[in-house]
Structures are given as C-alpha cells and as structure tokens.
Amino acid sequence: MSSDSARNEHAAVSRLPVRLDDTFFTESKLTREQCGHLRHFWNLASLHDGDWSLMGGEDSLQELDTAYRYQLSAMAYAAGAAHYHRLPAMRSMFKPLIRKLIYKMLRREVWGYWYMTSQSGVGADPDLKELRKPWADPVCKENIMACLPVVNPT
C-alpha cells in the first residue's frame, strides 16, 4: 500500500464521528413491554417437548381459538414482524426463536386433533350422511392455515 493511499484511508476513517448521535438510528426501539413479549415467546418456545404448562387452553381437543396452533402462529407472526420492522440486524436472536416455534408447531399435540376433525360432521356439514374417510396430514387439503388455494389455469 502506498503512503498516499494509506493517508487517504486514514483521512476517511478520521471523518467518522467518535459517537453516534440519536438521529443515526431511524427505526424506533422496542418498548419494555414488546421486549417482554419476545422474552415470553422465547420462554414458551424453550419449554421441554410436551410441556404446555404456560400455554393452557380451554379445550383439550385443540379445536377452539385457544388451541396451541393459534398461539404458536401468533407468536411467530409477531416475532417475524418485530425482526423485519424493528430489529432487522438481530438475525441471531430471531432465527432460533422462529425455528423453535416452528418445531413446536410440528408436534403431535398441536396437529393430532386433525385426524378426527378431517372426518367432518353434521355440525360443519349438515347434509353429511356418513363421515368422510379421515386423513392424518393436516396440510394436504382443506386447511386454510397452511394451504394455498388451487388456481384453475383455464
């Protein structure tokens, strides 16, 4: 490196401020409550497999709006929004959190209800004469949470 280029590099570095002022950061910080929610998400996602003690629901069959799948998906949506909009540089915190939430979503306790539900019933389909043949995969059809609609190309 020539002495001129070294001098130019030093001059460029010396123009950097010693301390960044408050106007440097354009994104607003998380509030104490928002940080608390993210910490709570981390605590829930870190529970041992099968431990749902902090995520109690009203229905053991997991068919009401307090079901684990709704709680976990809301946490994943909130964590993703916080990461994207407020803390985009904190990938090292959000990536393991979202992975842990997805891992919990794949547990049998979350989706085990589907086999019986897939048979339908007169409550959901009053014209039903007999129960349908059940299927265990909750993603393959009729799942508005996980499926994209099939578009007819015609």
Nearest to 138 by CA among 101, 112, 100: 112
Spatial separation of the C-alpha atoms in residues 82 and 90, rounded to whole Å: 10
Prediction pTM value: 0.69
Residue with tokens 């928002």: 34
The more confident residue out of 49 and 19 is 49
User: What is the structure's pLDDT at 42?
Assistant: 96
On whether the CB atoms of residues 45 and 104 are closer than 8 A, the answer is yes
Give percent of the chain above pLDDT 90.
32
**pLDDT tens sequence across 33-68:** 999 999 999 999 999 999 988 887 766 667 777 889
**pLDDT tens sequence across 78-131:** 999 999 988 988 999 999 999 999 999 989 888 888 888 888 777 777 888 888
On whether the CB atoms of residues 101 and 82 are closer than 8 A, the answer is no
User: What is the structure's pLDDT at 154?
Assistant: 47
Contacts 24+ apart (CB under 8 A), 103-109: 103/45, 104/44, 104/45, 104/68, 104/72, 105/69, 105/72, 105/73, 105/76, 107/49, 107/50, 107/68, 109/50, 109/52, 109/62, 109/68
Q: Per-domain residue ranges for the chain?
A: 28-121+132-154
User: What is the structure's pLDDT at 11?
Assistant: 53
